[in-house]
Structure 1
Amino acid sequence: MKLLQITILGLAILLTTSCKSNTKKEVFSESSKIETEEVYEMEKLSPQELSKYETAYFASGCFWCVEAIFESVRGVKEVISGYSGGKEKNPTYEMVGYGKTTHAEAVEVYYDPKEISFTELVQVFFGSHDPTTLNRQGPDRGPQYRSIAFYKNEIQKKIIGSYIQALKDQDVYDGAPITTEVKQFDVFYKAEAYHQDYEKNNPNNSYIRNVSIPRLNRFKENFQDYLKKEVH
């Protein structure tokens, strides 16, 4: 693990990196320990209630995993799984999953900027996946699983760009190129209902047990100060 302290737009930030490109080995090794996971219960808010919060958009592999990670973060009020980054209108899971669109599996994060900043969400994004694996995250392969950090304005674009440059300057990934796309946000399509809260609703699913939960546990270990305090 490497510690990196950088300044972005005058803010001092502490970065803790997580596991790198050996995710697949860890997940499917016979000696790999499958852990149970504490569930972070989120109060379900109405669209009107959610409208008072800010939104951020990220793609970093299977949205089941990414949704669970961001839901564990303090200040995050809701996370929705969906599709973004492509050109096709109204994509479906079958279309995206089989690589028939230019979209990636993504999440929409509703957050309270008084509790967590966009910069900190960018830290969560980079600290919870491997941004050096092109069109792949763990066992999932294809451009639909690519890494994308979306920005909605020039300030967010600068935050993301500065953070990537700091990662490069400190050689956090041991010379491996960062393949994350920095893309202006356009539109987000909500995924089908059964994908929402998938990890929480399907704890015995083999993918959840072998991929999602270990990935979340690695994130929690490295970002303890970012986690919600109340756990059920």
Structure 2
Amino acid sequence: MKKLSLYVVLSLLFLAGCAQGQSKDYTPAKLPALKPGEAVATFAGGCFWAMEEGMNQLKGVREVISGYAGGTVKNPTYEQVCTDQTGHAETVQVYYDPKVISYSQLLDAFFAGHDPTTLNRQGPDVGRDYRSMIFYRTPEEKAQIQAAIKRTNESKHYPNPVVTEVEPFKVFYPAENYHQNYFALHPDQPYIQRVSLPKVEKLRKAMAGHLKNNTALTMID
């Protein structure tokens, strides 16, 4: 269940909904094989349910896997990560065609799809497991990340400066199967409607020219 440390009333609503419809398949998902010409990018931007869905809607993205990165515990479970003691952040790994969408454009989607200026917090989700973080694989990616941070700060889109952590990629652990494609499988779940959906809509608006499908998403009143 998502940790909702603020707003007790909202916590009860979201946690009650989160327990409904979840699969009992706690087996870690399998990482897809990288296809010829593909690249992979790894981002942490709060709850992976929203970030996975947002990235998945971009042209050129073949698959997005939710998981954990940035910590010290091998093969962590969701319950372990939620204790905020493993060092991991909820993370997504994006498999994409750089001839269709560039790494720089993925960075734009990442900064649009969450608030990169709140330290160890995304909305009601609080803890280092919800921190904003980018894992680079090459010096070129690191330079593009730094340029994107500078671009985001200079845009004044957010009132506060970006606090996104930037680290070299080491290892990514896929999350349990029941977390994969969670947004699409549970569209009516209260947490998805109230917390995840606004983030996905924000990313879609910022990346309107790069979407696979322009059909608007729907929020339940």
Q: Place the TM-score, normalised by the shorter chain, in its bin.
A: 0.7 to 0.9
Task: Work out whether 1:226 is the aligned partner of 2:182.
Answer: no
- The TM-score normalised by the length of structure 2 is 0.79
Q: Report the Cα offset of residue 224 of structure 1.
A: 0.9
Aligned length: 188
Aligned counterpart, 2:200: 216
Of 154, 177, 189, the match for 1:193? 177
Go from structure 1 to structure 2 and tell me whether the alpha carbon gap of 1:172 and 1:213 turns closer, same or farther (over 3 Å shift): closer
How well do the aligned residues superpose, as a CA RMSD in angstroms?
2.1
**Could you tell me which residue of structure 1 aligns to residue 112 of structure 2?**
127
Find 2:166's aligned residue among 182, 186, 189.
Answer: 182
One-letter amino acid of the counterpart of residue 222, structure 1: A
Per the alignment, residue 64 of structure 1 pairs with 49
Tell me whether 1:173 sits opposite 2:158 in the alignment: yes
The alpha-carbon deviation at position 109 of structure 1 amounts to 0.2
Secondary structure of the 1:69 match is: helix
Q: CA deviation at 1:186?
A: 0.5
TM-fit CA distance, 1:99: 1.0
Runs of 5+ consecutive residues of structure 1 not aligned to the other structure: 1-23, 29-45
Between the aligned residues of both structures, percent identity stands at 46
For 1:209, the aligned partner's letter is Q
Q: What is the rounded CA distance, in whole Å, between the counterparts of 1:86 and 1:138 in structure 2?
A: 22
Q: Which has the higher strand share?
A: 1
- The range that moved more, 202-211 or 145-154, is 202-211
Partners in 2 of 1:204 and 1:168 — Cα distance? 34
Which amino acid counterpart does residue 100 of structure 2 have in structure 1?
E
TM-score, normalisation: structure 1: 0.76
- Aligned twin of 2:13: none
